[in-house]
Amino acid sequence: MTKKMAIIATKGTLDMAYPPFILASTAAALGYDVQIFFTFYGLQLLRKDLSDVKISPLANPAMPMPVPMPVMVQMLPGMESMATMMMKQKLKKHGVATLEELRDICLEADVKFIACQMTVDLFEFDKSEFIDNVEYGGAAMFFGFAGETDICLFV
Amino acid sequence: MNFDKELNARGLSCPLPIVKTKKSLADMTSGQVLKVIATDCGAVKDMQAFADQTGNTLMSTAEENGEYIFFMKKK
């Protein structure tokens, strides 16, 4: 019988966008039937354009920095964009796929994406800004699948 | 070792070597052998785990000049 995995993706930053897509694409490669439920900030990962997905050094003391940086400096305008650019360069240098690539791999492998209808309404997101391969539903719909999974993760 | 297809996964990090191995195997027939060349040291354990979980056979793993060479026989 096919194994199943469900992931709840709740974060919309560059660093936290990777785990759901990496785990989903790997599980799909191993033959799992996979669904990801995107809710709250995780919905940002469904946008056609992912260029606004960023990483912030602020309130992120575990993030390795090339030089120690006081919080007062991390707050300055442009620091977020700089940290994002540096992180993307690092990912590229290490041969890590881009978010877009990983998301495409998931879609090609028939990973099902579900967007939380309640948070789409709450944040007044425009569905036309999301990719096409998204189903809209609520928690109960997700449980229909999640309740029968072998692995269920909250990211 | 004889093989039917080669996959160049040099320079790719997790999970790409596994994802691309799965894709390459999809176009092959049962019993054919795929050669995979990777540079990610994490691929050594991942390829074995992939084989164990998918039923394909990892015939050999070798390291040569910082590259990892795998021969995977399709189920």
The verdict on whether B41 is a catalytic residue reads no
Q: Using an 8 Å Cβ cutoff, are A77 and A28 in contact?
A: no
Judged by a CB distance cut-off of 8 A, whether residue B68 touches chain A is: no
The pTM for the full model equals 0.91
Of A11, A8, A27, A5, which is closest to residue A102 (Cα–Cα)? A27
Nearest residue to A45 via CA among A124, A121, A118, A134: A134
Yes or no, beta carbons of B13 and A29 under 8 Å apart: no
Domain encompassing residue B52: 5-73
B14 touches chain A (CB under 8 A): yes
Establish whether this prediction's ipTM goes over 0.85.
yes
Architecture of domain A4-53+99-154: 3-Layer(aba) Sandwich (3.40)
- Please state, in angstroms and rounded to a whole number, the distance separating the CA atoms of residues B72 and B75: 9
> A69-116, pLDDT tens digit by residue?
888 888 899 999 999 999 999 999 999 999 999 999 999 999 999 999
Q: Are A53 and A99 in contact (CB under 8 A)?
A: yes
The catalytic position among B4, B6, B10, B14 is B14
Q: Are strands A33-38 and A4-9 parallel, antiparallel or unpaired?
A: parallel
- Chunked in runs of 10, what are the mean pLDDT values of chain B (75 residues)? 96 95 96 97 94 96 95 97
Where do the domains of chain A lie?
4-53+99-154
Nearest to B16 among A28, A97, A109 (CB): A97
Of residues A29, A31, A94, nearest to B15 (C-beta):
A29
Query: The CATH number of the domain where B10 resides is what?
Result: 3.30.110.40
